[in-house]
Structure 1
């Protein structure tokens, strides 16, 4: 098993490296067209094939990681945040491969691959130990529900990438009218949202590399199997410097950070301290990284990225975004709603219980239903359609990250 574990870790690292390399090769293929000599189209085609081949190798490595993890765990590896996020990243790359083979548009790789890379890196933030399935997950519906829901969300991610590209291609970044400024701010906020996730992942890796740890203990009353209440000591470990101390806890271990030898305040009983600390660090690191990037490029990031898309047919991007969502919507409907309700009835004796994850899955489904209705019945195409594809995926990301890590519910095991 130790040998399998080493192979599994190797495949994970190799996958991450190959996806990053594939992204850089796609950038070379697209931006290098300008300096491709007398035959820029041939240059773009050649480097595009190399980039796509590298992405395929990364996907194969990702599959090997997935199946070796399955062998180690004895069940499909989608039962916690690390496993689900790695699986979602794999499905995003798969969805991108499908869309690429249909449309042969290289530039989508510049935007789709980073989404997969960010989610894969985000997965590495969570504990990676193989864990036994809790009773609620010991069902064959785990394979069916989670895989189909993730597959649907993966196509939504590709739709988001194409929709964001369409906006970057069509928005007038030199415009000064009220509507132009509103569009510019909207796209910039979307990019800032992505930068925040990257910054948070970078912060966790940095402090992990430095060996930072803060540990708190608190006495908690808990009933044993016979119903007798007893006091146990609960330990909470932070991997980021704590601004927020758990309620009624004592510091057992805490390394000073920038002169801060204890948290700034203690959380009230109704506030999840570690999750609040995560939100604070996400905002701080996000603003710092965004500010640094703005200093480097000396302009809004969206305006700096926009020239890369010059020469790309905006209508093609709009069509790709729509088609990706059309593919993903019925798959998501099956996985996140129908299969989920059947499993919920088997596990909890009811089809629907207004759990936060259930509610946000429904909100996601309704949002994309509205997208398809407005697109097909009201003729919402172009910018309006792209804005909805972007907003829809932000809802998906909140469902995956915000609900799991901030809001407590029956699906909280996914945050372990």
Structure 2
């Protein structure tokens, strides 16, 4: 067995350990009501078990990272699969640091599932080791990607704590206009998370069924001599095509629930890598996430925020506010170094310029400016608590768009990450 194959096995072990640790965190937080022990003793005992299991998962994840690095001869951050697995590992490192400071099992109930979702998302992409393009063969790339991801990981922990704060302090029985508005936005945040889960369900379900559709897409490209050429590319779909690639013809489409041909065509302005296929995936994610949300609403017969809220009773909201703020304070300088300073050094080495207005560069700058504003407002009177929690949640949405959305909508030098 090669080191790369072994790394895949320990990665699977890490995933299951994360799942078990999440269950133990849930028991630590919600099981104290039915436990015969004193609530704090129950939470302390199961919280310790959950933390040990999550540490074991992180150890397995680190083993995956270093064995894949040794087996491939290159740091595993060069494509979407490798980067998302590293981001998940970085979130667990950030969570471990924050948990060691505050000892709040409740944080694991929200941060660990975020890691699980990202690990599952990474598994959607091809896991084969891909050769590096020349621009990626730089020590500065390694430093840039790892530190940027670690900074984003602390933002993720800040997001988890911020979302917990909202679920803790918002009164889901409040019938006032402002109260209903806050409830709707929290519910929309939870719905968005379920859309991501729906994406995973849809992808793995159709992958298990072996579904595939094929299109031939015509593109107009400009060669190195400035001449325009028509190029035909084959695009493979692994979800039923609701949206086909722009300027393409169907070669083979397996019927699904009467859907034997695409209903729409991707707009021409979406020129990211495989934009049509990705837009089709987004549509299926929304469909699956909406169905999942609807089933949960039917099951509980109340908004999901109102279902989660009772589990947070007794938690000091000021602690959650502090955790969210401190996590972002730690992540901001790390992100500044990785996403801006080291990124510009790498850009100069690879492309001969420090800044080139590439879409990913622009959105990294937007992310940095946003969190700069967050830290500025956080020090102002009236921006602690609820406003700060909302800013932490919105900030991580911007991070996710920088990581994923830019590759879908806009083509640029970082589009290789979407392959």
**Quick check: TM above 0.5?**
yes
Matched, 1:73 2:76: no
Matching residue of 1:8: 7
Counterpart position of 1:358: 361
**1:385 alignment partner in structure 2:** 388
* 2:326 alignment partner in structure 1: 323
Partners in 2 of 1:215 and 1:342 — Cα distance? Answer: 41
SS at match of 2:205: helix
2:183 counterpart residue number: 184
SS in 2 for 1:410: coil
3-state SS, counterpart of residue 107 of structure 1:
helix
- Distance apart, 1:87 and its partner CA: 0.3
User: What residue in structure 2 maps to residue 107 of structure 1?
Assistant: 106
Where do residues 12-161 of structure 1 align in structure 2 (5 Å cutoff)? 12-161=11-160
Note closer, same or farther for the CA distance 1:268–1:396 as it changes in structure 2 (3 Å cut).
closer
Asked whether 1:276 is paired with 2:275, we answer no
What is the alpha-carbon distance in structure 2 between the residues aligned to residue 121 and residue 4 of structure 1? 21
Q: 2:300 aligns with which of 297, 300, 308?
A: 297
**Count of matched residue positions in the alignment of Structure 1 and Structure 2:** 415
2:379 corresponds to = 376
- The CA distance in 2 between the partners of 1:229 and 1:382, in whole Å, is 56
| Farther off after superposition, 20-29 or 399-408 | 399-408
Contact 1:164 1:386 in 2 (8 A): yes
TM-superposed deviation, 1:361 = 0.9
Separation in 1, partners of 2:249, 2:88: 38
Aligned-pair distance for 1:248?
3.6
Shift of 1:275: 2.3
Structure 1, unmatched stretches of 5+, are none
Whether the 8 Å contact between 1:212 and 1:255 is mirrored in structure 2 is: yes
Q: TM-score, normalised by structure 1?
A: 0.95
1:410 aligns with 2:413: yes
| Alpha-carbon offset, residue 202 of structure 1 | 1.1
Report what 1:348 is aligned to: 351
Query: What does the per-residue CA deviation read over 1:169-205, in whole Å, with 9 as the maximum and x for residues that have no partner?
Result: 1111111111111111111111111111110011101
Render the CA deviation track for 1:119-178: whole Å, top value 9, x for unaligned: 111111111111011122111111100000000000001111111111111111111111
CA distance, structure 2, for counterparts of residue 382 and residue 270 of structure 1 = 40
1:27-85, CA deviations, whole angstroms, 9 ceiling, x for partnerless residues? 00111111221433222221111111110010011011111221232111111111100
Quote the Cα distance in structure 1 between the aligned partners of 2:248 and 2:404.
26
Question: CA offsets, 1:338-386, max 9 Å, x none?
Answer: 1111111222222222211111111111111111111113351111111
Moved more, 382-391 or 63-72: 63-72
- The structure-2 alpha-carbon separation of the partners of 1:338 and 1:223, relative to structure 1 and needing over 3 Å to count, comes to closer
Name the SS of the counterpart of 2:379 in structure 1. helix
In 1, Cα distance between the equivalents of 2:54 and 2:194?
Answer: 23
